[in-house]
């Protein structure tokens, strides 16, 4: 499952939101993706009065996330929750191809012992940060070097737009801390299915197929009420003032589109999938 560098793609995960002649757009994002949407996103951002994101995306706040997920003293290593077969399969998926596929150990001359490089990579991390580190490294190794959120954030800054964050980094860290170890373990144990999951996700996202994505999200550790359902209303309430003024573009994780769309319609908004890009 290697996605080679290619042309940009057209963004189709977009909903138009209208009420009282005020129009805005809701864009469902993928935090990791193998393709860029730069040109497509630029067309939606050029006339935006405000650009909204779930939470801060700058390096300082990202460092806070890493710091919150680091526990060098008392934490249990995530690999202690997995059997050897699963650890070997994960290591095979992540270790560079130049290493022997029959052994995922290297000799550390400082400690005079053999070590698993993936074990060392996530050492000292809480389970949720260890999971995202494993998953993001797997995706990057397979050509997923883009982020819809970050690409849009960078563009908004370049265009000198009014950027608004709907949550604080502390609120987002609290959500990450709520991730279930059982769900994380279950996803890691299905490492042999990651390739099919990733390919299916790309196809559905590029098609703007929210229904098909919904059937896939249930497999991922973040797909539970504390991450999705409970936050739909929080994000909606905080973006509402900007939607009322119009010309806002709100970027939220694609799983939030359904719940936020229902809240919009309940408040009298028209909310439908965008079928044609802006001129």
pLDDT tens, the chain, 279 aa long: 555 555 799 999 999 999 999 999 999 999 999 999 999 999 999 999 999 999 999 999 999 999 999 986 767 899 999 999 999 999 999 986 434 334 444 444 444 344 678 998 999 999 999 999 999 999 999 999 999 999 999 999 999 999 999 999 999 999 999 999 999 999 999 999 999 999 999 999 999 998 888 777 667 887 766 566 788 999 999 999 999 999 999 999 998 999 999 999 999 999 999 877 666
CA–CA gap between residue 214 and residue 200 (Å, rounded): 12
3-state secondary structure of 167: coil
Token pair of 149, please? 């959120």
CA–CA gap between residue 14 and residue 29 (Å, rounded): 9
DSSP structural state of residue 106: E
The ranges assigned to domains in the chain are 14-70+127-134+143-273
Rg (CA), the chain: 20
């Amino acid at each position: 499952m290697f996605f080679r560098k290619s042309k940009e793609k057209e963004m189709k995960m977009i909903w138009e939101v209208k009420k009282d002649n005020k129009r805005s757009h809701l864009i469902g994002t993928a935090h990791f993706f193998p393709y860029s949407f730069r040109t497509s996103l630029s067309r939606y951002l050029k006339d935006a009065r405000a650009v909204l994101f779930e939470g801060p995306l700058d390096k300082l706040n990202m460092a806070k996330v890493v710091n919150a997920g680091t526990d060098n003293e008392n934490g249990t290593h995530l690999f202690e929750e997995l059997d050897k077969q699963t650890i070997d399969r994960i290591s095979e998926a992540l270790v560079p191809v130049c290493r022997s596929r029959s052994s995922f150990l290297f000799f550390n001359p400082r400690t005079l012992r053999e070590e698993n490089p993936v074990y060392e990579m996530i050492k000292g991390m809480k389970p949720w940060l260890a999971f995202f580190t494993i998953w993001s490294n797997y995706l990057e190794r397979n050509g997923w070097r883009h982020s819809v959120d970050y690409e849009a954030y960078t563009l908004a800054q370049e265009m000198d737009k009014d950027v608004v964050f709907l949550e604080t980094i502390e609120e987002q860290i609290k959500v990450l801390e709520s991730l279930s170890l059982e769900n994380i373990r279950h996803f890691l144990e299905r490492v042999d299915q990651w390739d099919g999951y990733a390919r299916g996700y790309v196809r559905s996202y590029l098609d703007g197929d929210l229904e098909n994505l919904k059937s896939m999200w249930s497999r991922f550790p973040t797909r539970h009420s504390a991450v999705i359902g409970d936050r739909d209303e929080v994000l909606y309430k905080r973006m509402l003032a900007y939607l009322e003024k119009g010309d806002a573009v709100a970027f939220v994780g694609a799983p939030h589109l359904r719940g936020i769309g229902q809240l919009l319609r309940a408040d009298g908004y028209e909310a439908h999938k965008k079928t044609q890009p802006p001129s």
